[in-house]
Structure 1
């Protein structure tokens, strides 16, 4: 009986090789091999970007590292696209399908950190990669290179485009790229983001609008003749007070944030100028715009009460992500093929020390591959300019574990993990998962069509228009 069973197992392996049984075909194996072959260089690039830690529109060295490596691997690179010196597009192949991959590389101010599990700035007050974008851009490029090699060898047909997208954390560089039509010729686009878990991402994000409100008054001596002054900061305070009273009367899905950028310079002068940066979010663009209009009226009322003038200036705005479950399903199957990331004892100890330092349960890493989630009508979380891309072209999204469970995001803890092996493992895993998903798309045109059909259904008659002021990106902005 055992002999018969063994013979049957051998026969199955001959007729249906293990790779065919589990879906890991030759092209997907080639993707994995490619990422592993390039891994040393990818980690080197990621670590250099981590060390540079360049913020919005200042990512000169980081952008160059990625663009140069794309060029060295046979891509045609167009630099400085959409009037942004650090934005670029790297292209290889010809014809359809045309698949895009997004890559980010900007850091966050003020959270510099060494690659160690206790808070210790690399350079006090300097930026750090608290969202893991050093991993994001590099991992995406690793996937693009793996697919490029298959196209070059004749194993796949189509075009692969890698997008170097700057300033996601502040100015949202993809908006200008979308306005320039740089995503218009894509059939499907992919992105990934560092996370505390590994998921095929089928959740939306929050739409937002960014704007500044300036108040203009008249200066006077704050003690000798304050009656001759008109306080711009009075206008600002009345404005923020009005927004805070509004919070009781908005839906739970709405978020309002503000940052006072200038409230006056000295205490003995009635300030003639004040400025506040405001952000309104909601799970749906329509809800966000409704609150935006109310907040603008609050600014007008505040200026009237203070007897000052005011000016509202749009900075930019984001669309919520248009979810694509057909694409998510393809990605999910590849995560299941790859299985969870495994960690060494040293990496788990590092993770637990991070959790201890941030007051979280010391449970280590979470890279379990769970079933594809149901899409929520009103998700929590943040916002991303990937949302705008998703209204132009179907977007397949991925989150991969690069930090311990419950780690505070945009913090020193994420910076620490992004500069060592926990982050490196997540980055190379993401490159494999995205590359394998692109293999599915290029091998099976019907899968591309299914993704595009869902996109058309979800988008309906909506016309995409970037929420941007006229003119070029604020390269020299504050």
Structure 2
């Protein structure tokens, strides 16, 4: 029996463990950085399998790293990533319960292949939706030791061999003014909402003079309490994205000037609060993406190839530390928006089970093919080094 056939057999053997993990986490969603029960479930499963586990990995309470396998003569080291945080009010509308279950199942399958010359770790990466747990791991330098990091992310109806991401910075801005009665003595007030509104108008005017790939999204979080009271506090949130971090940092500076100018014009003050850690753009690796595409073809999984960058993820930071794949796998044939209640329902339905198995099989075969091909490993590594040297 070849390694691919053995992998499929081991995945089938361990599938119920992965299904149960997905259903348990999907039914008990925990917010970013608070995934205590989900993390504990992973840790217990890994320990039961005999994997050495580092808990509170990189100082994060809900992160872990499990040594899935150690080869006698490894030719590469692979990090398989698992996410398990949920969205407020929606639950697992990003599908993280299923994503992580795929990663676990892939690792369970690979762990039992005695002839595989690869060291493999399963890394639990919390807080993707808010602050960015992987960014903290990157700051600790842990991904520099890996030849590949990969994961598979559920999608409503589209499969891609790799997914591109924009760099992201997100802020809350609080304007402070002075309250007054809106009819009796408004001249005594300083309107914090006016400051927030003027800042938003400034951002809108800025759009004409920034690069077309840039994205500015903003909304008013708090604008006051009554129409006849001059608000002494107003809050807005803005999310800024671009295809590369250097220009995004320039854009952040321009937006901050809009905020500063609005405060001066309205005689208010303001505070800027970072909403999370900065996410970097995805450093694309064509050799690794081509490998994933080859696996999808062999497994007869329909897919599209698109390098269009839309959303953002802290896996972008990982891609600057080692070659990285973020495979996108369709969970069905019907389109639903990302971060939706429909996807939260999808991962709790029995139809997610073959998808979890397929995701595990895709990642497992990527690892097998890379371990078996020295030229391909060299191509992936050389491309990564070349792209990093451009920065």
Which TM-score band (shorter chain)?
over 0.9
Please name the residue that 2:83 is paired with. 104
Deviation, structure 1 residue 28: 1.3
| In structure 1, C-alpha distance between the alignment counterparts of 2:341 and 2:250, rounded to whole Å | 35
Deviation, structure 1 residue 110: 2.4
The equivalences for 1:316-355 within 5 A come to 316-340=277-301
Please name the residue that 1:191 is paired with. 151
The one of 337, 346, 353 equivalent to 1:424 is 353
1:253-296 CA distances to partner (integer Å, 9 max, x unpaired)?
A: 12111232332344444322222221111223233222211111
Please name the residue that 2:368 is paired with. 439
Corresponding residue SS for 1:334: helix
Equivalent pair of 1:403/1:414 in contact (CA under 8 Å): no
Please name the residue that 2:112 is paired with. 149
Please name the residue that 1:345 is paired with. none
The one of 130, 137, 141 equivalent to 2:93 is 130
Residue 262 (1) aligns with residue 215 (2): no
Task: Spell out structure 1 runs of 4+ moving beyond 4 A.
Answer: none
- RMSD between superposed Cα atoms in Å: 1.9
| In structure 2, C-alpha distance between the alignment counterparts of 1:282 and 1:40, rounded to whole Å | 41
Equivalent pair of 2:161/2:303 in contact (CA under 8 Å): no
Runs (5+) with no aligned partner, structure 1: 1-24, 112-127, 341-367, 463-478
1:19-49 CA distances to partner (integer Å, 9 max, x unpaired)?
A: xxxxxx7111111111111111111110111
| In structure 2, C-alpha distance between the alignment counterparts of 1:326 and 1:71, rounded to whole Å | 34
| In structure 2, C-alpha distance between the alignment counterparts of 1:391 and 1:221, rounded to whole Å | 54
1:364-410 CA distances to partner (integer Å, 9 max, x unpaired)?
A: xxxx246xx3x64xx24211111110000001231111133422221
| In structure 1, C-alpha distance between the alignment counterparts of 2:303 and 2:224, rounded to whole Å | 52
Check 1:248–1:422 CA distance in 2 against 1; reply closer, same or farther (3 A cut).
farther
Corresponding residue SS for 1:39: helix
Deviation, structure 1 residue 329: 1.9
Runs (5+) with no aligned partner, structure 2: none
Please name the residue that 1:117 is paired with. none
Higher-Rg structure is: 1
Residue 310 (1) aligns with residue 270 (2): yes
| In structure 2, C-alpha distance between the alignment counterparts of 1:402 and 1:223, rounded to whole Å | 57
| In structure 2, C-alpha distance between the alignment counterparts of 1:191 and 1:93, rounded to whole Å | 17
Please name the residue that 2:4 is paired with. 28
| In structure 2, C-alpha distance between the alignment counterparts of 1:419 and 1:67, rounded to whole Å | 22
| In structure 2, C-alpha distance between the alignment counterparts of 1:417 and 1:404, rounded to whole Å | 12
Corresponding residue SS for 2:237: strand
The equivalences for 1:392-403 within 5 A come to 392-403=321-332
Corresponding residue SS for 1:183: helix
Corresponding residue SS for 2:112: helix
| In structure 2, C-alpha distance between the alignment counterparts of 1:397 and 1:383, rounded to whole Å | 12
| In structure 2, C-alpha distance between the alignment counterparts of 1:297 and 1:369, rounded to whole Å | 43
| In structure 2, C-alpha distance between the alignment counterparts of 1:409 and 1:425, rounded to whole Å | 20
The equivalences for 1:9-408 within 5 A come to 26-94=2-70, 96-111=75-90, 128-150=91-113, 153=114, 155-195=115-155, 196-201=157-162, 203-315=163-275, 316-340=277-301, 368-369=302-303, 373=305, 376=307, 379-408=308-337
Equivalent pair of 2:164/2:310 in contact (CA under 8 Å): no
Q: How many residues align?
A: 386
Which stretch has the larger CA shift, 49-58 or 395-404? 395-404
Equivalent pair of 1:320/1:383 in contact (CA under 8 Å): yes
